[in-house]
Amino acid sequence: SQGISLQVSRWENQARQRERRLNELERELLEKSSRVESLHRQLDDGHRQLEESKRRQEEAELKLSLRLQEYEEELARQAAMPPRVKYVTQTVEVESADSQRALVELQTKNAGLQEQLSVQSQLLRELETQLHQSQRTCAQLRTQILVYEGEMERAQGQLEVEMQNLEEEKNRLIEEAFIRAEIEMKAVHENLAGVRMNLLSLQPALRTLTCDYNCLKRQVQEFPFMLDKAITEAKQEICQVISEVSTTNQELLRKYKREMNLRKKCHNELVRLKGNIRVFCRVRPVCLVEQDSVDSKAMLSFDSEDDAVLYLSNKGKMMTFDLDKVFPPQATQEEVFQEVQSLVTSCIDGFNVCIFAYGQTGSGKTFTMEGAVDNPGINQRALRLLFSEVTDKAPDWDYRISVSMVEIYNETLRNLLGENPSNKLDIKMNPDGSGQLYVPGLTEFTVQSPKDINRVRTSCCAHPFSVKCLQLAAGLCSLSAVI
């Protein structure tokens, strides 16, 4: 039935479109009919004007003819009177003079009438011209009427053909719809028979569902009591679980604190065993200038079995240095940092830490401490590790990291982050009784990442410098750089 509805809707749309087309043709036909009527009225008006012009012309010609005839008769009478003068006396001659004046007056009137006749002739010619123009206009109007009548006949024929086509199309569509409706109705009847058979087969299932529904209905009626009971039991279980979780959390926290203290103790013991003060030696590679020297290769040698021993040949005498660690020229920045990485953990645990590089100019202090952008040294690696450890412990601990920079040169301290780095500073004992030293007036900046520290170094320092010493102070994790 949906297909029939769609087909009927499509036919209705087509019928509406063709009806609109018929209405448009009818409007065009009415417009052309109105135009023809208007032309007919104009033609009738032209005929009336033409007849009126003819009538006025005939009246004017008749009046002119009558007046001309009267003047000719008067002239004839005047012309016939002069022969009588031969038989009158002197008194009659006087009367003849009067007649002469009358004749002059009549001639004057005749000239005026001739002029009027000329004017009337000109008017007659103009009327004849207008008559010809009216006749041409009438001929044009007749031609237009014939054209419009032809167009009307064609439009009427087209309209009749369109109506006939629409009627045939409508009959065809109705017949097709009727055939489709019969086919679909037959299919619907067949489906209906199948549905009836299904209904008959579903009746036992319906009875079963009815029984199940009644059972569920009884259960629903009992559900509020069951729900209250379940909620009460769930609350009791939740309270019990919460109590157990709280007890477990307290136990875990106690164990965590114990493990933290144990880790600190083990780490401190490891640091103590390694030594609170450790001295490392890093041998840089031979530079281009030193490659040509014969003594450059034989001056230093390493112990293959002990990485803490260094041999130095000086003036033919071999000297042995026993250190905590010796890094050969091929040692990487990462290998060097691995040896001092535990010091960052000591700082977080509450111990003061200081790492500095010592050596003559060109020995590689800046490279070891600062490194390059793609191969950072101890400073950058230590800062990254410090912030990484702080981030990991952030949920359980509160940290504040600040940075300050001082320059020690010729026993003088200068605040590199202050507005006037040339101002001298003093080192004093902390008045809180902790025995720690501090620098009054030293500028500090709170930082959140290694980028903040690098930004402080590049933007706030008055003089270019390189960090040869990294000092990590405990407590608030105050980060100091000693130049």
Residues annotated in a binding site for ATP: 359-366
Residue 444 pairs in a beta bridge with: none
Would you state the structure tokens that stand for residue 294, as one six-digit string?
């014969």
The answer to whether the CB of 250 falls within 8 A of the CB of 299 is no
- Nearest Cα residue to 483 out of 415, 402, 418, 429: 415
Q: How far apart are CA 217 and CA 213, in angstroms?
A: 6
Three-point CA angle 286, 292, 296, nearest 5°: 50
Q: How far apart are CA 175 and CA 169, in angstroms?
A: 10
Helices of type H across 81-89 = none
The answer to whether the CB of 425 falls within 8 A of the CB of 440 is yes
- b/e map of 109-119 (b: 16 or more CB within 10 Å)? eeeebeeebee
Q: How far apart are CA 46 and CA 131, in angstroms?
A: 10
HSE-CB at 83 with a 13 A cutoff on CA atoms is 3
Sort 198 into a burial class: Cβ within 10 Å, 0-12 / 13-18 / 19+: exposed
Residue list for the binding site? 359-366
The answer to whether the CB of 99 falls within 8 A of the CB of 88 is no
- Specify the pairing of strand 325-327 against strand 280-282: parallel
Q: Which single residue is written with the structure tokens 């087509």?
A: 14
Phi, psi of 442 (to 5 degrees): -75, 130
CA 252 vs CA 21, 247, 274, 397: distances in Å? 89, 9, 32, 16
Instruction: Render 41-66 in DSSP notation, one character per residue.
Output: HHHHHHHHHHHHHHHHHHHHHHHHHH
Q: How far apart are CA 368 and CA 336, in angstroms?
A: 8
Question: What SS3 state is found at 261?
Answer: helix
Q: Which helix (H) or strand (E) covers residue 282, if one does? A: strand 280-282
End-to-end CA distance of the chain: 94
Give the sign of the dihedral formed by CA 336, CA 342, CA 344, CA 350. negative
